[in-house]
Amino acid sequence: MYIGKKCKVLSLLPMILKSKTLFILFTVLFLILLGIQAYFMYKTYQVTAREIYRTIQSPLRDYTDELEDNGGANKIDDDSLQYLFIRYNNKEINKKDFLRFFEENRKQTMELFSNHVDNMFKKEGYRVAVKIEYLSISFVPENINLLDKPIVLYETRNKIISPEILSRGKWETSSASKITHKSGKDDVFLVKSKTSFEILNIKSIVFKEQALLFLSCIAILSCVLMLYIFTIKNLAAQQKQVEILHTVVDNISHEFKTPIATLKIAARTLKKDLNAENLPIIDRQINRLENLMHQLHTDDTKNEPAEIATEDWQLFVQDLAFTYQEIEFVLENQISRQLPFDKNLMETMIKNLCENSIKYGSSSVKLTLADLKKGIEIKISDNGWGMEKKELKNIFEKFYRIQSDNIHNTKGLGLGLYFVQKIIKKYQGRIDVASKRGEGTTFTIYLPYEN
C-alpha cells in the first residue's frame, strides 16, 4: 500500500541517521572540549591568583607583625593596653569608653596605615585591603573574655569583601602594673588576634597577566566552532543535494509513466489498424520522453523553456483522451494567444491533475482555461469519489496518499500533486481545492503573468 513511500524513506534513512550521528558526535566533542578549556582556564586563574597572594604575604606579614615600630602619633604599647584592660576588667571604665579607644585609634591610624600598604604594592598595581582585629581578650586568672565580638584595631581605607587570613596571633600582656586585681592575683591578659587581607583587583590583574593564554584558548574554541559549523553546513548542503537528486529522479520516473502508457496504446492500435492520427501522438510522446531525458543530463536553468501555444492545451487533452478512452474529457479554452509558461511544466501539471481525478473514480473530467487580466486561471473538475475536508491539507505532501476504502484500487507513489504544487510555486501562483465526499473535486489554479 505504501511500498513506494517506504522505499524512499528507507533509502534516505542511512544518510539521515549518519548525519544525526555526526551532529550528535560533534556536539558532544565540542561540549567536552569547551568544558576542558573552561576548567583549564579556571584552574590557571586559581593558580595565578594564589601565586600573587603568596608574593605579598611575606612583606605584608612583616609589616603588620611589627606595626608598633612603624611610628605614628597613636602608637599603642604593651603597658597602655595592659592599663586599659585592667581598668575595663575592674569596671573603672564602661564598655562604651573601652570600645571608643579602639575606634578612635582605628580612625586616627587609617590614613597612615592605608598609605603605607598602598606604597608597598604601588609598583605592582595591587589594591590591597588589610584589617587587624582582636578576636578575644581573656583575663587569665579567671579565664574571663572581655569581648563579646571582635574589635578592629587597624584597617585600611579599602574594605575587605572576601578575606584571606594573613596571620593569627596569641600573646600575653605583662603582669607589671600600678593597678592590681582586687584579689591580688597577677593581671595577665591573653589576647588573640587575626590579620586578614584581600587583593581587591585580583581578577583584573590575573586576566591581564594571562590575557594571551585566555585569548589563545578562546581562539582555539572559535576555530573548532567554526569548523563545526562549516562541517554541519556541508552535511546539510550534501543532504539537500541528495534530496534534490531524489526529487528529480522521482519526478522523471513519475512523468515517464504517461508517455510510455500512451505509446503502448498507440503501438497496439497501429498493429490492428494503421491510423495516421496516431502518428502525431507518438511523436509528441517521444518528444516528451526526450525532454525528460534531457532534464536528467543537462542543467535546465541554462535552456530557454518553450512557451505554450494555444493549440497545446487541446493536444494535452487529446493525449489523455487517447490514453484513457473510457473517460470523458471536456475542454473549455478561452485562451487565444501564446503564454509565457513552460510548455513541459504545463503539460505535467494538467496531466497530473487529470490522471489524479481518473485514479480516484472519475468518469468525466472538465478542464476550463481563462485568460485573465494579470494571469491565467485553470480549473479542473471531476465527478470522482471526492475527499474528506481533513484530507485537503495533506494532499500536496510528498508521497501522501488518501486513506480510503478504495486505496487498494489506486496505483502510484503519491507524487503527482506534490509536483503540481512545485510548479505553481515556481510561478508564484496559488491553488485552491474544493471537494466533497461522493460529489467530486475541483482544483482551481491561478498563475500570474508577471512571474
3-state secondary structure 103-133: HHHHHHHHHHHHHHHHHHCCCCCCCEEEEEE
Burial class (CB in 10 A: 0-12, 13-18, 19+), 334: exposed
Output the DSSP codes for 369-412. EEE-SSEEEEEEEE-S----GGGTTTTTSTT-----TTGGG--S
Contact, 421 vs 396, CB < 8 A?
yes
Three-state SS at 317 = helix
| pLDDT digits 0-9 by tens, 275-332 | 656 667 676 667 667 666 655 554 444 556 678 888 889 988 888 888 888 999 999 9
* Kind of pairing between the strands at 328-333 and 339-342: unpaired
Residue position matching grid coordinates 592575683: 185
| pLDDT digits 0-9 by tens, 207-226 | 888 888 888 888 888 888 88
**Domain boundaries of the chain, sorted by first residue:** 41-209, 242-448
pLDDT number for residue 240: 75
pLDDT number for residue 72: 40
Output the DSSP codes for 228-270. HHHHHHHHHHHHHHHHHHHHHHHHHHHHHHHHHHHHHHHHHHH
pLDDT number for residue 378: 94
pLDDT number for residue 8: 47
| Class of the CATH domain delimited by 242-448 | alpha beta
pLDDT number for residue 201: 92
pLDDT number for residue 300: 46
DSSP 91: T
pLDDT number for residue 394: 81
Q: Distance between terminal CA atoms of the chain? A: 39
Contact, 287 vs 268, CB < 8 A?
no
pLDDT number for residue 281: 67
pLDDT number for residue 389: 83
Q: Which ranges of 155-210 does DSSP label H, i.e. alpha helix?
A: 202-209
| pLDDT digits 0-9 by tens, 157-183 | 999 999 999 989 888 876 655 555 554
pLDDT number for residue 216: 86
Residues of the chain with pLDDT under 50: 1-10, 68-74, 183, 298-301, 406-409
* Kind of pairing between the strands at 364-371 and 375-382: antiparallel
pLDDT number for residue 171: 84
Residue position matching grid coordinates 563579646: 148
pLDDT number for residue 407: 44
